[in-house]
Amino acid sequence: MEDTDPVEAPAAELVVHPERRGTGHGRALGAALLAATGKRLRVWAHGGSSAARHLAQVLGLSLFRELRQLRRSLVPLDLAEPVLPEGVTVRTFEPGRDDAAWLAVNRAAFAHHPEQGSLTQQDLDDRKAEPWFDPKGFFLAERDGALIGFHWTKVHAEEGLGEVYVVGVLPDAQGGGLGKALTSIGLHHLAAEGLPTVMLYVDADNTPAVTVYERMGFTTHEVDLMYRTES
């Protein structure tokens, strides 16, 4: 259980061994979590099974968030070359030099998404220290020398899997195809790295993003559901 968010209710993940399901263990664990959190709780149900839905209903939890994992093959990468909006250029991230500008754009692009939009310099430093971090896969879009969007890719080396880690565009630069172009640039990069498959996570209610990704050949691979108490 995680209880570090100053605003949101504590978050937890509840798992019951397949051979022990249907015997009340899930209900007992859920009740214990509710008691420990004062009936303020968020719980992830990975895979969105009917059993998890039933347990959430029994515990009095309501569906709050649907997170989809989408995937597509990169072999072949049947996408046209990306077309950038007029006046926009793309280069790769330079650690240190671009930190402050990227944090500002990320904050503006994800003002509606507290988890992503609240990233700090320390959060960025932590990610730059990860073994998977590679600035060659971190693309920045600029207009007149100012950063207006980005696509940060990630490689899961052990799984041989690429990821559209995060794509962000300033609000006043949205709607002109920049997000799609940045996504395409990242996919071409991951394909050139020899990765056979790419994945991404997107909230189901982010209809514009889901539409763009589906048009680019992504399909739903897995669904995770978050339930929470109403209080």
Structure confidence at residue 55 (pLDDT): 85
How does residue 196 score in pLDDT terms, banded at 50, 70 and 90? very high
Residues in CB range of 35: below 8 A, 6 or more apart: none
How does residue 36 score in pLDDT terms, banded at 50, 70 and 90? confident
What mean pLDDT is predicted for residues 7-15? 79
Q: Which is higher by pLDDT, 48 or 143?
A: 143
Structure confidence at residue 38 (pLDDT): 84
Q: According to the annotation, is 222 in a ligand binding site? A: no
Structure confidence at residue 6 (pLDDT): 60
Structure confidence at residue 54 (pLDDT): 87
Number of neighbours of residue 112 by Cβ within 10 angstroms: 9
How does residue 131 score in pLDDT terms, banded at 50, 70 and 90? very high
Q: According to the annotation, is 163 in a ligand binding site? A: yes
Q: According to the annotation, is 168 in a ligand binding site? A: yes
With a cut of 80, say whether residue 92 has pLDDT above it. yes
Q: According to the annotation, is 2 in a ligand binding site? A: yes
Q: According to the annotation, is 136 in a ligand binding site? A: no
Read off the pLDDT of residues 172-186 as tens digits, 9 standing for 90 and up. 999 999 999 999 999
What mean pLDDT is predicted for residues 75-103? 96
Least confident of 17-21, 46-50, 149-153, 217-221: 46-50
| Strand partners of residue 169 | 149
Instruction: Report which residue type is found at 131.
Output: P
Whole-number Å distance between alpha carbons of 12 and 19: 22
For every residue of 36-96, DSSP letters joined together read HTTS--EEEEET--HHHHHHHHHTT-EEEEEEEEEEEE-SS---PPP-PPTTEEEEE--TT
Q: Which is higher by pLDDT, 60 or 199?
A: 199
How does residue 231 score in pLDDT terms, banded at 50, 70 and 90? low
Q: According to the annotation, is 179 in a ligand binding site? A: yes
Structure confidence at residue 37 (pLDDT): 83
Whole-number Å distance between alpha carbons of 11 and 40: 9
Q: According to the annotation, is 176 in a ligand binding site? A: yes
